[in-house]
Amino acid sequence: MKLAAIDIGSNAARLQISTVLHNDNVVSFKRVEYVRFPLRLGHDVFNFGELTPESEARTAKLMQVYKLLMELHEVEDYMACATSAMREASNGHEVAKRIEASTGIKINIIDGSKEAELINNVVVQALDERQFLHIDVGGGSTELNLYENRQKINSKSFKIGSVRLLEGKETKGAWRKIEDWVEDNIDSTKEIIAVGTGGNISKLFNLASKTSELETTLSEIERIRDYIAGFDQEDRINKLRLNADRADVIVPAAGIYISVMRWAGADKIIVPDLGLKDGIIQLVYAQLGKKKHVL
């Protein structure tokens, strides 16, 4: 059986198709298809407050492509979720309805708490009893989640992200709000370890020297950030081989991870290969019996 997740973010839209595996009483998911396309919806929304007709047309076209891929893979069930850009767009819900009418793909516009919940449901599997600060930086928002003993203690969504920073549209006082939240919620008498999710931290982690398979240090993330910042956009694409839509946002995104880690006093960061799309897959499996969005 195959299930699919569509994650429509402020920078890119992703499709993941996974096979459900059963080993005794343990259920797991194996990725068999992954496609990412840089829609950059945040550019419209953070500058103009709405999605333009051009962005709507491109999104509809991409949803049609994703629908065809799901049909070819004989996907049994799926869910499409849109985050910061579409939920902040004044015409987000209208656009979602028109896209559903033209493509058959229902787009669920989820709030920051639901986004964090879906990511947390898979990230918690990589944690132990220690104190962890989960940092998820998207194009339009950053979600922080505090864990201890594999239980979520607190969480908060902030209107600051890689595309929003690139456009100079971060919410006034957002940096201070993050710093205050970290100071108010983290127990500084205990070790704190950061957990990073999102496309930018995954790329930074791939370039970094690692202390283990899933872990590196704050100083190493800072080093890689400074190294990339030393190249202009063209050289980041041609010499560092970064995608164009990654090359311009990776340094602003790195700044968020680094700042939060510094404020928290976290010297190490774990980067599991997990994200919103994995949380959506898990939710689809849990709700499979409802058959709401079967192709």
Beta carbons of 255 and 243 less than 8 angstroms apart:
no
Q: Degrees (nearest 5) of the Cα angle 225, 246, 73?
A: 135
Identify the pLDDT of residue 160.
Answer: 93
Average pLDDT, the chain: 93
Q: Please list, in sequence order, all residues whose beta carbon lies within 8 angstroms of the beta carbon of residue 2, skipping any fewer than 6 positions away.
A: 17, 18, 19, 20, 32, 73, 74, 75, 76
Q: Using only C-alpha atoms, what is the Rg of the chain?
A: 19
Q: What is the mean pLDDT of residues 118-133?
A: 91
pLDDT of 292 > 80? The answer is no
Count of beta carbons in the 10 Å neighbourhood of residue 107: 22
Give the tens place of pLDDT for each residue, 143-188: 999 999 999 999 999 999 999 999 988 878 899 999 999 999 999 8
- pLDDT category, 290, cuts 50, 70, 90? low
Q: Which residue do the tokens 């709030």 mark?
A: 111
Q: Which residue do the tokens 């950061």 mark?
A: 194
Q: What is the mean pLDDT of residues 221-249?
A: 95
Cα(57)–Cα(242) distance, integer angstroms: 26
Residue ranges of domains in the chain, CATH in brackets: 2-110 (3.30.420.40), 127-270 (3.30.420.150)
Give the tens place of pLDDT for each residue, 7-50: 999 999 999 999 999 888 888 999 999 999 999 999 999 999 99
Cα(184)–Cα(138) distance, integer angstroms: 23
Of 38-42, 128-132, 200-204, 210-214, least confident by mean pLDDT is 210-214
Q: Are strands 107-109 and 215-217 parallel, antiparallel or unpaired?
A: unpaired
Of 48-52, 232-236, 263-267, 270-274, least confident by mean pLDDT is 270-274
Identify the pLDDT of residue 23.
Answer: 87
Give the tens place of pLDDT for each residue, 41-89: 999 999 999 999 999 999 999 999 999 999 999 999 999 999 999 999 9
Phi/psi at 145 (5° precision): -140, 130
Beta carbons of 75 and 4 less than 8 angstroms apart:
yes
Q: DSSP 3-state helix, strand, coil percentages of the chain (rounded to 5)?
A: 45, 25, 30
Beta carbons of 194 and 259 less than 8 angstroms apart:
no
Over pLDDT 90: what percentage of the chain? 82
Over pLDDT 70: what percentage of the chain? 98
pLDDT of 295 > 80? The answer is no
Sign, CA dihedral 259-260-263-268, equals: negative
Identify the pLDDT of residue 24.
Answer: 84
pLDDT of 294 > 80? The answer is no
Strands lying side by side in the sheet with 26-37: 26-37, 13-23, 2-8, 77-82, 107-109
Identify the pLDDT of residue 11.
Answer: 92
Of 164-173, 187-196, 210-219, 224-233, least confident by mean pLDDT is 164-173
